[in-house]
Amino acid sequence: MAEIGKDIEKAKLLLQEGKLVAIPTETVYGLAGNALDAEAVAMIFETKNRPAFDPLILHTSSIERVEDFVSSFPEKLKVLAENFWPGPLTLLLPRKPIVPDLVTSGLDRVAIRVPNHPLTLALLESLDFPLAAPSANPFGYISPTAPVHVAAQLGEKIPYILDGGACEVGLESTIVGIEEDEIVIYRLGGLDISEIEKLVGPVKIKDHSSSNPAAPGQLDSHYAPRKPFVLGELKELVSESLTKNVDFSVLSFSDFFPEISAESQIALSPEGNLLEAAKNLFSAMRKLDEGKSTVILAELLPEEGLGRAINDRLRRAAVK
């Protein structure tokens, strides 16, 4: 079973040996390996059971070091990096040959970011290579936002989990690229689109793809619990399920349902705060998935701000 600890030097040595380590970020925990070592990258895919056509995100410690791995840095994207790094922003940039094909699934652009977590930034600064680090969970399942989540899912497959506590943002990074001078959002995430638009103007949002994604995290079915996950109008779903004697639990935005037990329901934010809801989303989904009910009922949040990214995860969790 993986050891959980705060020893950056131990994590560094394991990574230098070509092994995998779980690392904390402000978004979710990542399963990290040397991004320039094709064998270590292949081990990430194998450990997660992740399809090789789904590219990975490269993590490094500063905007200056990004230049080592990309052949160009469009000015509009550099402006975003200067304003939001370290942070929950991933940029798609033309890659240099030093980046293995396996990291990008053979695509010409590499997804890259500077995460905002003191432990992982210190680790990255101590390494002479970047880290490839998708979420530290079996492919398609709920992303981990605490060390115990990683241990429960991958603890027997990796030697070490760097303990950075609970993730502050709780949603994966927003992935941004540029096409013909137009800023494109490939994945909604922890950085609100309105913040991006303040700097670069209106953006285009791309639908996620069921195969051959142009960026990480674009598959239709993703972030999903093992139990059936049903989206709809919660009051109607609860009433119908009670009538049919269905064994269910509830994931709401802010409402509490007095007709069912407190143990069978979680409100993401009783105050209706989207930031709090984003932070709690994956841990709440995981708790209900590990509970005794046979089905999870949920609702969409207001389609504004981070609500759009949360709804993206909810819709993909509900895809069968």
Known binding-site residue numbers for ATP: 50, 59, 135, 143, 187, 223
| Cα separation, 260 vs 50, whole angstroms | 37
Contact, 158 vs 31, CB < 8 A? yes
Q: Name the DSSP letter for residue 129.
A: S
**Binding-site residue positions for L-threonine:** 27, 113, 133, 173
| Cα separation, 206 vs 218, whole angstroms | 10
Tell me how far CA of residue 178 lies from CA of 11, 14, 190, in angstroms.
34, 36, 19
* CA nearest to 33, candidates 189, 119, 158: 158
- Read off the tokens for 254: 């802010």
Neighbours of 282 (CB within 10 A): 27
**Binding-site residue positions:** 27, 50, 59, 113, 133, 135, 143, 173, 187, 223
Q: Name the DSSP letter for residue 264.
A: G
- 236 burial (CB, 10 Å; 0-12 / 13-18 / 19+) is exposed
